[in-house]
Amino acid sequence: MSKGELQMAGFSILVTLMTVLGIAYIFIAQPAYLRSDRDGVPYFTPEVENPMTNEPVDMGTLIRHYRGETP
C-alpha cells in the first residue's frame, strides 16, 4: 500500500467509526429533544378518548383544539 492509500483507509475507518458511534449515541442516550415534540408531548403517546363520541383523538389534535388553532 502506498502512503496515500493508507491515509485514505485510515480516514475511511475514522469516518465509519464516527458514524456508528453517533448513531449509537442517538439510540442509547436519547437526547431530550428527541423525546418530545415542540408542545412537550412525548412521542408515542397513546390517543385519548373523546368522552362525547368515544372516538380516539390524537394528543396533538387535542392540544391544538384547546389552543384555539383549529376551527
Residue pair 60/39 in contact (Cβ under 8 Å)? The answer is yes
**For residue 64, pLDDT beyond 90:** no
Q: What is the pLDDT of residue 71?
A: 57
Choose among 55, 45, 15, 11: nearest CA to 63. 45
**Residue 1 confidence class, pLDDT cut points 50, 70, 90:** confident
Q: What is the pLDDT of residue 23?
A: 93
**pTM of the complete model:** 0.52
The one-letter amino acid code at 71 reads P
- Residue 62 makes CB contacts below 8 A (sequence gap 6+) with 48
Q: Cα–Cα distance between 44 and 27 in angstroms, integer?
A: 15
What percent of the chain clears pLDDT 70, i.e. is strictly above it?
97
